[in-house]
Structure 1
Amino acid sequence: MMLFLLLFFLIFGTVVNWYLIRTIDLHTALTAPLLPYLGFMFGAFIAWVCRLNWSHIKTVGIEAGIQNTGIAFMIMYYSFPQPYATKAIVVPLVVAFLTTKPFWLVYMIRSRVIKYKKRKELEKNENLTAKANNNDGKLILENEKPFINDEQNNTKEDYVEMMDVFVK
């Protein structure tokens, strides 16, 4: 039900405000997000210059970059006469839409890197465990053949090879 409502409002809002969405040109789409993005960078840079620790640098950068676009919507909507007010809120609309995209990108990249590292560590641990843990507790190297009497380490091919040696 919640997904239906979310999709309904998203689709309905897009259809109703299509005339505003059509006014977004390439110049607006590329320059409007510069306000929060430059705020992120300059805020973090100034915090770094002030020799703050890493957690404070991130906090200051985020606080400087996140702008309250709701206030910009209300001020523009109620300050300008009506045909101009709806056209004026296009830029805050683009800013509000694109402000959090760098955070999502960093989150996705970071989660993939963490997942990759965990998978590699798990594979490494499984390989070490498989090499070190046979039933007798003997360590068998990759290039070393197991003993003939060690039944747990033998495969069908090894049995066929042993039988060929025995028959000859």
Structure 2
Amino acid sequence: MRYLILFLFLVITNLSNAQSVTQKYNSLYNRYEYFNETGNMIGYKTYNSLLKQWEFYSSDDSKRKTDFGSYVSPINLNLVYSSLQSRQSRYDENRKIAENYVIDLALNIYNSSESVSKGDYYSSLFIEEINETATFRNIDFSKTNQANVAIKVIKEVFIEFKEKYFN
């Protein structure tokens, strides 16, 4: 009777303490991995041949630090925006100055012509010559010194045009 009670006691305690951790060998990483009853890895152990001992590493998510701090941009976007805005406004201003200069010279050609039809013809011909000038196309109007070069080129084309058609 005593053996029967002891046997039942051992069976009941064994059944009440069911296996909650599974050990599997991972040949890729050469380690033993431990999984809980839901299949999530809770840790692993590797053999440290230098110290000749097994080392256990927990993969408990609550112990991991996942807060890397706030993002710091490597570029100051406000500075980039303000500099590009400034450059665009200089480009617009210098381009408008050059365009107004071309229009004034075209009007000068138009007014110095003998008739309206010749004025239209010569002023449109002058604007075409300005557009065909290669140096005028490659000028960056956001830089004031290059915009001044553009105005000099326009003035040279105007002088050549006047000598060619009006002298």
TM range (shorter): under 0.3
Larger radius of gyration: 2
Query: Structure 1-normalised TM-score?
Result: 0.27
Query: Structure 2-normalised TM-score?
Result: 0.27
Q: Which has the higher contact order (CA 8 A, sep 6+)?
A: 1
Which protein is richer in strand relative to its size? 2
